[in-house]
Structure formats: C-alpha cells, structure tokens
Structure 1
Amino acid sequence: MYILHCADDSYYTGSTTDLDRRLLQHQMGEGANHTKSRLPVTLVYYETYARIDEAYYREKQVQRWSRKKKEALVRGDLAELVLLAVSKKSILPPPPPSTSSGIG
C-alpha cells in the first residue's frame, strides 16, 4: 500500500506487488487516471505486505480516511491518528434505540 502526493496537493492511495514499477508508471503518466493529470507525483508513504489482498484491504481502508488522518499517517504521528479516530467516532450520531425486548 502506498500514498502519493500529487502536484495539485491531492493524495492518491494505491496498492501493488511492485512499488518501483508502479511508481515509474505513475510518474510517466501511465498510472491511474487520478495521477495522470496531476504530475509530478511523489511517493510519501508506503507499507509492505506479504500478500496483495492484505495491501488492497489496507488501501481501501486508508482511501476512506480524511486528508488530516492521511497526513498524520504520512508523518508517522500515531498520537494524531488516535485522536482523529476518536474524534470521528465522537461526532457520529448514536445508534437508534433497540426495538426488541431482548427475549428470544
């Protein structure tokens, strides 16, 4: 799983079995549509996984994150990551009350 910083200040998150090859593809405009029009791109973060499905799962997880949370990950700021995860949960509405009696 990797994160690229694009020329328009956006981030792109992807996964691959060959990071060097994939980064070169992005830099040559042969990567994802998001990066083609946002060159140059810079690799700012990556994680390695034994299996591509694990990397893909992590990619999808990080893609759902806010920009601030991605930036905390890139900086390696674990405290900020935890704070952002907690603050996001605290603004979610509470679940609706149970309508079941809890009996069988």
Structure 2
Amino acid sequence: MNAWVYILECADGSYYTGWTNNVEKRFQAHCAGRGAKYTRAHPPLKIVYVKGFEDKSAAMKHEAAIKRLTRAQKTALIAETAPVKMKKMTPNAAS
C-alpha cells in the first residue's frame, strides 16, 4: 500500500481523519504538535481506523468521504473494522 487513511480519537472524544504515506510517522507528528492544526488543539489519544490504498488519489477520495460522514456513521465504520494494532501507536510512545 502506498497511501493510508486514518482516524484518530482525540482527548476530547472527537475524531480527526487524515491520509498519509506513513501512518506511524504521521501519528508521531500529530502527538508532537507538528501535525494538523486541529490535533494541536485536540491532542490525539490513539489511532482507531486505518485503511490502505494503492495510490494517493484513492486515499484522498476515501478521506473526503469519511469527512462527510456524521459522528455516528464514523463510529459505526470504526466498529466494523478490526482494532488497529501497530507498533508505537500511543502518544506516550511518540515521545
């Protein structure tokens, strides 16, 4: 996979959706305050959803589709997928 869409659960319970070519590195950037402006104000707790794509265009389309979902629909999407188990995927490990 060359591109990934991810959803972060933030400290206030909100979700942040993004895409990247390296999920672990991007999560560490979010945790260190070098990610999106949103995650600087709403620190991420964990990655709750990841899906891989062959190209950036497909990932960006999926990201846009997720961003149009309601919170309830995002929660259902997360519940339908297997739990994310990746090395160093908590804010403490990003330090």
* Counterpart secondary structure, 2:52: coil
In 1, are the aligned partners of 2:8 and 2:44 still within 8 Å (CA)? no
Of 54, 63, 66, 1:62 maps to: 66
Output the aligned Cα RMSD: 1.1
- Residue identity over aligned pairs, in percent, reads 36
Q: Deviations over 1:57-90 (max 9, x none)?
A: 100000000000000000007xxxxxxxxxxxxx
More helix by share: 1
Larger Rg: 1
Gaps of 5+ in 1: 78-104
Code of the aligned partner of 2:14: S
- Answer 1 or 2: higher relative contact order, Cα 8 Å, separation at least 6: 2
Give the structure with the larger strand fraction: 2
- 1:46 maps to which residue? 50
User: When the two structures are aligned, how many residues end up with a matched partner?
Assistant: 77
> Which of 16, 23, 46 is the matching residue for 1:19?
23
Q: Give the TM-score normalised by structure 1.
A: 0.71
Moved over 3 A (4+): none
